Amino acid sequence: MSVRGAAAGGWTADEGLALAARGLALGYGRRRVLEGVSLEVRRGAFWCLVGPNGSGKSTLLRAVLGVIDPLDGDLWIAPDLASRRRVGFVPQRCDLKPTLPMTVRELVLLGLTGTGAAGRESRADVSWALERVGLAAVARRDYWSLSGGQRQRALVARGLARRPTLLILDEPTNGLDLAAEESILELVAALNRDRGLTILFVTHAIALAARFATHVALFGGGRLLAGPRDEVLRGGHLREAYGVDVEVVLGGAGQPVVRIGPPPGAREAPGKPAGCP
Protein backbone atom coordinates (compact mmCIF):
# COMPACT_ATOMS: atom_id res chain seq x y z
CA MET A 1 0.00 0.00 0.00
CA SER A 2 1.40 2.98 0.88
CA VAL A 3 1.31 6.22 0.03
CA ARG A 4 1.48 9.42 0.41
CA GLY A 5 -0.72 11.05 -2.15
CA ALA A 6 -4.03 10.91 -3.90
CA ALA A 7 -3.13 9.11 -7.12
CA ALA A 8 -2.39 5.77 -5.45
CA GLY A 9 -5.55 4.26 -6.87
CA GLY A 10 -4.20 4.36 -10.40
CA TRP A 11 -1.12 2.33 -9.53
CA THR A 12 -2.38 -0.33 -7.15
CA ALA A 13 -3.65 -2.62 -9.91
CA ASP A 14 -0.22 -2.94 -11.54
CA GLU A 15 1.53 -5.84 -9.78
CA GLY A 16 4.74 -5.34 -11.73
CA LEU A 17 5.25 -1.92 -10.20
CA ALA A 18 7.59 -1.53 -7.21
CA LEU A 19 7.23 2.19 -6.71
CA ALA A 20 5.99 5.21 -8.59
CA ALA A 21 5.98 8.98 -8.26
CA ARG A 22 3.99 11.70 -9.95
CA GLY A 23 4.57 15.43 -9.61
CA LEU A 24 6.59 14.72 -6.48
CA ALA A 25 8.27 17.57 -4.60
CA LEU A 26 10.83 16.77 -1.93
CA GLY A 27 12.89 18.82 0.46
CA TYR A 28 13.71 19.67 4.05
CA GLY A 29 11.52 22.14 5.89
CA ARG A 30 10.74 24.92 3.45
CA ARG A 31 13.72 24.19 1.22
CA ARG A 32 12.69 22.31 -1.91
CA VAL A 33 15.40 20.07 -3.32
CA LEU A 34 13.43 18.30 -6.04
CA GLU A 35 10.28 19.22 -7.92
CA GLY A 36 8.07 17.62 -10.54
CA VAL A 37 9.53 14.15 -10.05
CA SER A 38 7.71 11.48 -12.03
CA LEU A 39 8.93 7.94 -12.50
CA GLU A 40 7.77 4.33 -12.38
CA VAL A 41 10.16 1.66 -11.09
CA ARG A 42 9.15 -1.81 -12.22
CA ARG A 43 10.16 -4.95 -10.36
CA GLY A 44 13.45 -6.45 -11.51
CA ALA A 45 14.75 -3.18 -12.96
CA PHE A 46 18.24 -1.86 -12.23
CA TRP A 47 17.99 1.88 -11.74
CA CYS A 48 21.03 4.08 -11.42
CA LEU A 49 20.48 7.51 -9.93
CA VAL A 50 23.12 9.89 -11.28
CA GLY A 51 23.69 13.63 -11.09
CA PRO A 52 25.88 16.33 -9.55
CA ASN A 53 26.42 16.65 -5.79
CA GLY A 54 23.43 18.10 -3.98
CA SER A 55 21.04 17.44 -6.86
CA GLY A 56 18.63 15.38 -4.74
CA LYS A 57 19.62 11.75 -5.32
CA SER A 58 19.83 10.83 -1.64
CA THR A 59 16.74 12.93 -0.93
CA LEU A 60 14.70 10.73 -3.25
CA LEU A 61 16.07 7.63 -1.52
CA ARG A 62 15.10 9.06 1.87
CA ALA A 63 11.56 9.60 0.62
CA VAL A 64 11.37 6.03 -0.70
CA LEU A 65 12.62 4.77 2.67
CA GLY A 66 10.01 6.84 4.49
CA VAL A 67 12.59 8.96 6.32
CA ILE A 68 11.12 12.18 4.87
CA ASP A 69 7.61 12.92 3.63
CA PRO A 70 6.83 14.43 0.22
CA LEU A 71 6.15 18.17 0.22
CA ASP A 72 3.82 17.73 -2.70
CA GLY A 73 2.68 15.16 -5.28
CA ASP A 74 2.25 11.40 -4.98
CA LEU A 75 4.66 8.65 -4.04
CA TRP A 76 3.35 5.12 -4.17
CA ILE A 77 5.20 2.09 -2.81
CA ALA A 78 4.04 -1.49 -3.36
CA PRO A 79 2.38 -3.07 -0.30
CA ASP A 80 5.11 -5.68 0.26
CA LEU A 81 7.77 -2.95 0.25
CA ALA A 82 5.98 -0.32 2.30
CA SER A 83 6.63 -2.11 5.59
CA ARG A 84 10.39 -2.11 4.80
CA ARG A 85 10.57 -5.78 5.81
CA ARG A 86 11.72 -6.63 2.27
CA VAL A 87 13.71 -3.48 1.58
CA GLY A 88 17.49 -3.61 1.94
CA PHE A 89 19.61 -0.48 2.34
CA VAL A 90 23.34 0.04 1.86
CA PRO A 91 24.62 3.42 3.03
CA GLN A 92 27.90 5.15 2.27
CA ARG A 93 30.62 3.39 4.23
CA CYS A 94 32.00 6.62 5.74
CA ASP A 95 29.02 6.76 8.14
CA LEU A 96 30.55 4.04 10.32
CA LYS A 97 33.17 4.59 13.03
CA PRO A 98 35.48 1.98 14.54
CA THR A 99 34.45 2.87 18.10
CA LEU A 100 33.31 -0.66 18.95
CA PRO A 101 34.74 -4.03 17.94
CA MET A 102 32.41 -5.82 15.57
CA THR A 103 32.61 -9.14 13.79
CA VAL A 104 31.43 -9.33 10.21
CA ARG A 105 28.59 -11.64 11.26
CA GLU A 106 27.51 -9.21 13.98
CA LEU A 107 27.44 -6.31 11.51
CA VAL A 108 25.33 -8.25 9.03
CA LEU A 109 22.96 -9.29 11.81
CA LEU A 110 22.13 -5.60 12.39
CA GLY A 111 20.45 -5.62 8.98
CA LEU A 112 17.66 -7.69 10.55
CA THR A 113 16.73 -4.93 13.00
CA GLY A 114 12.98 -4.52 13.15
CA THR A 115 12.18 -7.79 11.36
CA GLY A 116 11.64 -9.85 14.50
CA ALA A 117 13.92 -12.56 13.13
CA ALA A 118 15.82 -14.34 15.90
CA GLY A 119 17.71 -17.53 16.69
CA ARG A 120 18.03 -20.07 13.90
CA GLU A 121 16.11 -17.92 11.43
CA SER A 122 18.40 -14.93 11.84
CA ARG A 123 21.52 -17.11 11.67
CA ALA A 124 20.26 -18.60 8.39
CA ASP A 125 19.53 -15.13 6.96
CA VAL A 126 23.00 -13.87 7.90
CA SER A 127 24.76 -16.94 6.47
CA TRP A 128 22.74 -16.63 3.26
CA ALA A 129 23.68 -12.95 2.88
CA LEU A 130 27.37 -13.60 3.59
CA GLU A 131 27.46 -16.36 1.01
CA ARG A 132 25.85 -14.09 -1.59
CA VAL A 133 28.64 -11.54 -1.23
CA GLY A 134 31.44 -14.10 -0.87
CA LEU A 135 32.32 -13.31 2.74
CA ALA A 136 31.21 -16.54 4.46
CA ALA A 137 34.83 -17.46 5.15
CA VAL A 138 35.51 -14.24 7.11
CA ALA A 139 32.27 -14.16 9.10
CA ARG A 140 34.10 -14.33 12.44
CA ARG A 141 36.75 -11.81 11.55
CA ASP A 142 36.79 -8.26 12.82
CA TYR A 143 34.95 -5.96 10.42
CA TRP A 144 37.60 -3.26 10.78
CA SER A 145 40.40 -5.64 9.77
CA LEU A 146 38.87 -6.15 6.30
CA SER A 147 39.95 -4.29 3.17
CA GLY A 148 37.81 -1.39 1.92
CA GLY A 149 36.21 -3.52 -0.76
CA GLN A 150 35.44 -6.34 1.69
CA ARG A 151 33.92 -3.90 4.16
CA GLN A 152 31.64 -2.57 1.48
CA ARG A 153 30.67 -6.13 0.58
CA ALA A 154 29.83 -6.68 4.24
CA LEU A 155 27.56 -3.63 4.13
CA VAL A 156 25.87 -5.05 1.05
CA ALA A 157 25.41 -8.31 2.98
CA ARG A 158 23.82 -6.33 5.81
CA GLY A 159 21.38 -4.91 3.28
CA LEU A 160 20.71 -8.40 1.91
CA ALA A 161 20.12 -10.03 5.31
CA ARG A 162 16.42 -9.13 5.14
CA ARG A 163 16.24 -11.08 1.84
CA PRO A 164 14.94 -7.93 0.15
CA THR A 165 13.06 -7.61 -3.10
CA LEU A 166 14.15 -3.96 -3.34
CA LEU A 167 17.79 -3.08 -2.65
CA ILE A 168 18.68 0.59 -2.22
CA LEU A 169 22.35 1.60 -2.37
CA ASP A 170 23.46 5.16 -1.62
CA GLU A 171 26.85 5.75 -3.26
CA PRO A 172 28.25 2.46 -1.92
CA THR A 173 31.40 2.69 -4.03
CA ASN A 174 32.52 6.10 -2.76
CA GLY A 175 36.21 6.05 -1.90
CA LEU A 176 36.82 2.57 -3.29
CA ASP A 177 39.51 1.83 -5.85
CA LEU A 178 38.48 0.88 -9.37
CA ALA A 179 38.75 -2.88 -8.80
CA ALA A 180 36.65 -2.78 -5.65
CA GLU A 181 34.09 -0.52 -7.31
CA GLU A 182 33.84 -2.89 -10.25
CA SER A 183 33.47 -5.84 -7.91
CA ILE A 184 30.59 -4.24 -6.00
CA LEU A 185 28.80 -3.34 -9.22
CA GLU A 186 29.28 -6.87 -10.58
CA LEU A 187 27.82 -8.23 -7.35
CA VAL A 188 24.77 -5.96 -7.47
CA ALA A 189 24.24 -6.69 -11.16
CA ALA A 190 24.36 -10.43 -10.43
CA LEU A 191 21.76 -10.03 -7.69
CA ASN A 192 19.56 -8.13 -10.12
CA ARG A 193 20.07 -10.65 -12.92
CA ASP A 194 19.93 -13.92 -10.95
CA ARG A 195 17.48 -13.12 -8.18
CA GLY A 196 15.37 -10.46 -9.86
CA LEU A 197 16.08 -7.87 -7.18
CA THR A 198 14.90 -4.37 -7.97
CA ILE A 199 17.88 -2.05 -7.56
CA LEU A 200 18.07 1.68 -6.83
CA PHE A 201 21.75 2.59 -7.02
CA VAL A 202 23.04 6.10 -6.41
CA THR A 203 26.38 6.70 -8.11
CA HIS A 204 28.56 9.39 -9.63
CA ALA A 205 30.02 6.97 -12.14
CA ILE A 206 28.10 7.55 -15.38
CA ALA A 207 30.17 4.91 -17.17
CA LEU A 208 29.09 2.28 -14.65
CA ALA A 209 25.47 3.38 -14.97
CA ALA A 210 25.80 3.06 -18.75
CA ARG A 211 27.20 -0.43 -18.32
CA PHE A 212 24.98 -1.99 -15.67
CA ALA A 213 21.68 -0.07 -15.39
CA THR A 214 18.52 -0.85 -17.28
CA HIS A 215 17.10 2.54 -16.32
CA VAL A 216 18.62 5.85 -15.29
CA ALA A 217 17.31 8.74 -13.25
CA LEU A 218 19.33 11.85 -14.09
CA PHE A 219 19.20 14.62 -11.51
CA GLY A 220 20.08 18.26 -12.14
CA GLY A 221 18.75 21.74 -11.50
CA GLY A 222 16.10 20.49 -9.08
CA ARG A 223 14.56 18.31 -11.79
CA LEU A 224 14.64 14.65 -12.67
CA LEU A 225 14.76 12.96 -16.03
CA ALA A 226 13.95 9.26 -15.71
CA GLY A 227 13.63 6.44 -18.21
CA PRO A 228 15.44 3.63 -20.06
CA ARG A 229 19.23 4.04 -19.90
CA ASP A 230 19.85 4.77 -23.58
CA GLU A 231 17.17 7.43 -23.72
CA VAL A 232 18.48 9.30 -20.67
CA LEU A 233 22.26 9.05 -21.06
CA ARG A 234 22.45 11.33 -24.07
CA GLY A 235 24.83 14.21 -24.49
CA GLY A 236 22.15 16.88 -24.39
CA HIS A 237 20.57 15.60 -21.17
CA LEU A 238 23.93 15.11 -19.48
CA ARG A 239 25.12 18.57 -20.52
CA GLU A 240 21.98 20.09 -19.04
CA ALA A 241 22.42 18.23 -15.75
CA TYR A 242 26.17 18.71 -15.28
CA GLY A 243 26.74 22.02 -17.07
CA VAL A 244 29.64 20.58 -19.10
CA ASP A 245 29.90 18.57 -22.30
CA VAL A 246 29.50 14.95 -21.26
CA GLU A 247 29.17 12.10 -23.68
CA VAL A 248 28.90 8.33 -23.24
CA VAL A 249 30.63 6.45 -26.06
CA LEU A 250 31.69 2.85 -26.57
CA GLY A 251 35.39 2.27 -25.93
CA GLY A 252 37.77 -0.17 -27.55
CA ALA A 253 36.54 -3.25 -25.61
CA GLY A 254 32.94 -2.32 -26.21
CA GLN A 255 32.70 -0.83 -22.72
CA PRO A 256 31.01 2.55 -22.22
CA VAL A 257 33.44 5.42 -21.71
CA VAL A 258 32.56 8.90 -20.50
CA ARG A 259 34.12 11.83 -22.35
CA ILE A 260 34.06 15.17 -20.60
CA GLY A 261 34.63 18.37 -22.56
CA PRO A 262 34.90 22.03 -21.54
CA PRO A 263 31.80 23.87 -20.32
CA PRO A 264 29.44 24.94 -23.09
CA GLY A 265 30.62 28.19 -24.61
CA ALA A 266 34.14 27.94 -23.20
CA ARG A 267 35.60 27.55 -26.69
CA GLU A 268 33.81 30.69 -27.74
CA ALA A 269 35.18 32.76 -24.89
CA PRO A 270 38.38 34.27 -26.22
CA GLY A 271 40.74 36.69 -24.67
CA LYS A 272 41.22 35.12 -21.25
CA PRO A 273 44.82 34.17 -20.57
CA ALA A 274 45.36 30.72 -19.06
CA GLY A 275 45.62 30.71 -15.29
CA CYS A 276 43.37 33.75 -14.72
CA PRO A 277 40.53 33.19 -12.29
User: Residue numbers of the site for other proteins (CB under 8 A)?
Assistant: 65-67, 84, 89, 91, 95-97, 99-103, 106, 109-114, 141-142, 144-145, 158, 168
Tell me how far CA of residue 222 lies from CA of 38, 101, 170, 241, in angstroms.
13, 41, 19, 9
Nearest to 209 by CA among 179, 188, 223: 188
Phi and psi, residue 211, nearest 5° = -85, -40
Shortest approach of other proteins to residue 5 CB, angstroms? 20
Shortest approach of other proteins to residue 235 CB, angstroms? 34
74: left (phi over 0), alpha (psi -120 to 50) or beta: beta
Max alpha carbon distance in the chain (Å)?
A: 72
Task: Tell me the CB-side half-sphere exposure of residue 117, using CA atoms within 13 A.
Answer: 19
When the beta carbons of 203 and 233 are compared against other proteins, the nearer one is: 203
Shortest approach of other proteins to residue 2 CB, angstroms? 13
Would you say 1 and 81 are in contact if contact means Cβ atoms under 8 Å apart?
Answer: no
The helix (run of H) or strand (run of E) holding residue 125 is: helix 119-132
**DSSP label of 203:** -
Shortest approach of other proteins to residue 112 CB, angstroms? 7
When the beta carbons of 96 and 136 are compared against other proteins, the nearer one is: 96
When the beta carbons of 145 and 255 are compared against other proteins, the nearer one is: 145
73 burial type by CB count under 10 A (0-12 exposed, 13-18 middle, 19+ buried): buried
Nearest to 204 by CA among 156, 172, 249, 247: 172
Shortest approach of other proteins to residue 228 CB, angstroms? 27
When the beta carbons of 7 and 96 are compared against other proteins, the nearer one is: 96
Shortest approach of other proteins to residue 140 CB, angstroms? 8
β-pair type (166-170, 87-90)? parallel
Shortest approach of other proteins to residue 118 CB, angstroms? 9
When the beta carbons of 58 and 192 are compared against other proteins, the nearer one is: 58
When the beta carbons of 145 and 147 are compared against other proteins, the nearer one is: 145
When the beta carbons of 114 and 261 are compared against other proteins, the nearer one is: 114
